Amino acid sequence: MRITDTSDLWWKTAVVYCLDVQTFMDWNDDGMGDFVGLTERIDYLHELGVTCLWLMPFYPTADRDDGYDVTDYYGVDPRLGSAGDFVELVRTARDRGMRVIVDLVVNHTSDRHPWFRSARSSPTSPYRDFYVWREDKPPDTSKQVVFPDKEDSLWQYDEKAGAWYFHRFYRSQPDLNITDQRVRDEIVKAMGFWLELGVSGFRVDAVPFIVETTGVDAQELARFHDPHAYLRELREFVGRRTGDGILLGECNLPHKDQKAFFGGSDGDELTMQFDFIGMQNLYLSLAREDARPLARAVKRRPKVAEESQWATFVRNHDELTLDKLSDGERDEVFAAFGPERAMQLYGRGLRRRLPPMLDGDPRRIRMVYSLLFSLPGTPVLFYGEEIGMGENLEVEGRLAVRTPMQWTAERNGGFSRARPSRLRRPLPDGPFGPEHVNVADQRQDRESLLSFITLLIKRYRESPELGWAQFHVLDQPHRNVLAHECAHDERRLVALHNLAASSCTVPLTLEGCDSTHHLVDLLHEGSDFSVDDRGRTEIPLDGFGYRWLRLSLDRRRLA
Ligand code: NOJ
């Protein structure tokens, strides 16, 4: 490995872990998670093998969108702790070799942000143009709203302002007017602030909407006409201030449109983007027990510059969106994994976590996480996935998957010592409740999901080719099997995944190999497969089985 491969471009081989401070660990017994609690749990995350924490919004907020409605870009929500507690967390994480990135929510502010309060109060407010206004009646935009259960227009009439303002999300989240230079200056100032406090970059919320300019008048638009130039500026800024800070962008778009957000051939805009298309096709493949939709999606990912990277994930904190599948495909996934109305959201997604969708089948759950960590890209875990937490459908909307972390079998899952009624969201009951699914039990159990995911992360971190390689599907006869190879420099790893319940044997022909080679199974101790003099081998796979096979020449080398 060249030296830059393993260290400088740290995000290429990172393990990202997303969490919300308010649901992770409550240290002052008030029923809400806090920075002190999270800091106390850094060693747990370190042992798991996490290398980068992504903190969901922790800023002062009006709390109408779980923190994605910020009232102060320079603060910490006092319910979660202080700025000092934030710095302690970053320092402790850094001490364990862990970076921290934070959510940057600048498509909009809260309507309680002082800028908007001032802007709506008078047309002559210096902040008026921080937002997007119109005086005439807006057209029908009901088809374009993001949250159709709560909104039916992208414009909201404001009595105080005597005008309509633009909001891509909830009406309590007025969009900032990015064409105003002062807004752009404010955004970089806030970014600079958190970078000085030690963060390694940002998960950038709603990127395509940040740079969209709907409703902005033509004159202003003429002054600001290149959204990509703006993203380049942000990336340059992060680079100048930190050297190796990143922008991990949320762009739920078709692959071809995502490509533009990575920038030019040198990857000078977003450093990483979530692969929403790969994620949605993963579920289609699982529903059909057919690996081809997933293989096709990952194969069609646009090639990106060496500095850029795809981020892979099984689910995030929102509804598990299936919006880029066809109606028929989405119906197949709904039928397989969320047939009840209460499990679905906005007609396009599921508000469930993976284990309940798979009826808790441990083989299938493990196979999915084996896929997550072996598909080329940087894996992103959502808190609780490592122990197989379920959702609580009693909790409203998207928040069903944002219940407290389950640490022990005790009251409140060991998350808080407050009275259960003080918790903002109840934990689930039943087979996925804390009595059955918790960290403490799984830490003691070498066969637990937690132990398995810890092993996957260990092997993933020992195999930098997984982060660096392009996707290369190997020919074999079973449609329910995904066989792919990741090769980078002198390293080669073959991964096999069986998406169906029946076992099979996978014949493979490995290019450039002969009987001096053999395959060492990195996940099942003691399994080793020979290759014949024409590079052929046969690998048995259980139902829902998986293998990571390191191609090795020299038996003395560590697999
Ligand atoms: C995308 C975030 O993931 C979601 O949780 C939020 O509601 C919207 N952006 C608005 O900020």
| Residue with CA at minimum distance from ligand 1 atom 6 | 68
* Low pLDDT (below 50) residues in the chain: 1, 3, 556-559
Pocket test residue of 68, 166, 170 for ligand 1, highest count of atoms within 8 A of CB: 68
Whether 185 is a known active-site residue: answer: no
- In the chain, which residues fall in CATH 3.20.20.80? 6-106+183-461
Marked catalytic residue, from 205, 268, 318, 391: 205
Distance 175 CA to ligand 1 centre (A): 13
Distance 80 CA to ligand 1 centre (A): 20
- Name the residue among 380, 373, 366 with its Cα closest to residue 486: 373
CA atoms within 13 A of residue 116's CA, in its CB half-sphere: 26
Return the pLDDT at 262: 98
Distance 437 CA to ligand 1 centre (A): 28
Return the pLDDT at 555: 53
At 317-348, the pLDDT tens digits run 999 999 999 999 999 999 999 999 999 999 99
Rounded to whole angstroms, the Cα distance separating 559 from 555 reads: 8
Distance 105 CA to ligand 1 centre (A): 8
Question: With a threshold of 0.75, does the pTM exceed it?
Answer: yes
If you classify domain 6-106+183-461 with CATH, what class do you get? alpha beta
Q: Residue 164: which residues within 8 A CB-CB, separation 6 or more?
A: 133, 134, 135, 137, 138, 155, 156, 157, 158
Pocket of ligand 1 (CB under 6 A): 65, 68, 105, 169, 205-206, 250, 318
Atom number in ligand 1 closest to CA 398: 5
Whether 129 is a known active-site residue: answer: no
- In the chain, which residues fall in CATH 2.60.40.1180? 470-558
- In the chain, which residues fall in CATH 3.90.400.10? 114-166
313 pairs with which residues across the strands? 380
By residue count, the chain amounts to 559
| Residue with CA at minimum distance from ligand 1 atom 11 | 68
Q: Assess contact for 249 and 272: CB atoms under 8 A.
A: yes
Return the pLDDT at 559: 46
Tokens of 455: 């092993």
Return the pLDDT at 489: 84
Return the pLDDT at 554: 58
Consecutive H or E run containing 478: none
Tokens of 429: 């009951």
Candidate CATH numbers 1.25.40.340, 2.60.40.1180, 3.30.1300.10, 3.10.20.90; the one for domain 470-558: 2.60.40.1180
Consecutive H or E run containing 163: strand 163-166
Atom number in ligand 1 closest to CA 69: 11
**Fold for domain 114-166?**
Oligo-1,6-glucosidase; domain 2 (3.90.400)
Marked catalytic residue, from 34, 77, 151, 250: 250
Return the pLDDT at 388: 98
